[in-house]
Amino acid sequence: MPKMKTNRGAAKRFKTTGTGKLVRNKAYSSHILTKKSTKRKRNLRKSGIVDPTNVRGIKRILPYA
């Protein structure tokens, strides 16, 4: 069997925690920031955990994560 290839775009976006959960960065924080409140922008800086409905697909494209 040849080695499985990792999706490089996904590898840059997702990291695994010690317990095996997937961590992601939040969207909507790159531009059009003037109309967003300071509180909203501050909360967008924090990372979030990937929803369980999406975990299976992401783990498939990250075989070694």
Q: Report if residue 2 sits inside a domain.
A: no
Residues 6 or more apart whose Cβ sits within 8 Å of residue 32: none
Domain range for 12 is 8-61
pLDDT band at 35; cut points 50, 70, 90: very high
Q: Report if residue 46 sits inside a domain.
A: yes
What is the pLDDT at residue 30? 95
The total domain count for the chain is: 1
Q: Report if residue 19 sits inside a domain.
A: yes
* Stated pTM of the model: 0.84
Give the CATH number of the domain where residue 36 resides. 4.10.410.60
What is the pLDDT at residue 65? 85
Q: Report if residue 31 sits inside a domain.
A: yes
Q: Report if residue 1 sits inside a domain.
A: no
Query: CA of 34: how far to CAs of 5, 26, 27, 37, 45, in Å?
Result: 40, 18, 16, 8, 16
Q: Report if residue 30 sits inside a domain.
A: yes
